[in-house]
Amino acid sequence: MHTSPAQAAPAVRLPMNVKCFDRAPYKDTVEVQSGWHPDGRRLMVTIPNPMSKSCRYDLKLEEPGCQGCRWQREDDPRDVA
């Protein structure tokens, strides 16, 4: 039997797996697909990395496993809702 979202149990927020603690910095550029070569191979281009460099976890200030991480910043202008 399939349940609708209204009937589903509410989601329980579990503590974050903190494998990202003090992770290596992201690269400044990333390689992305921009089309196809005539012979069928992917056409790849390098672009600036558009991802935020700081932590995007919404409970980073409350999560005990995040305390002291070098990426835990409150002032990243990209971290607006």
Evaluate whether 45 touches 29 at the Cβ level (below 8 Å). Answer: no
Q: Given this model, what pLDDT does residue 42 score? A: 97
Does residue 32 lie in a domain region? yes
Q: Does 36 reside within a domain? A: yes
Grade residue 71 by pLDDT with cuts at 50, 70 and 90.
Answer: confident
Q: Please indicate, yes or no, if residue 77 is contained in any of the structural domains.
A: no
* Residue 67 within any structural domain of the chain: yes
Query: What pLDDT, on the 0 to 100 scale, is given for residue 77?
Result: 57
Phi, psi of 64 (to 5 degrees): -60, -35
Would 12 be classed as within a structural domain? no
Mean pLDDT of 62-66: 83
Residue 37 lies in a domain: yes
Domain for residue 3, yes or no?
no
Find the radius of gyration of the CA atoms of the chain: 19
Which run of H or E residues covers position 73? Answer: none
In a domain, 24, yes or no: yes
Q: What is the count of structural domains for the chain?
A: 1
Residue-level pLDDT at 23: 86
Structural domain of residue 33, as residue ranges?
17-72
Placement of tokens 């196809």 in the chain: 36
Residues 14-56 have pLDDT tens digits of 555 667 888 888 899 999 999 999 999 999 999 999 988 788 8
CA dihedral 21, 56, 63, 6 (to 10 degrees): -130
pLDDT value of position 81? 42
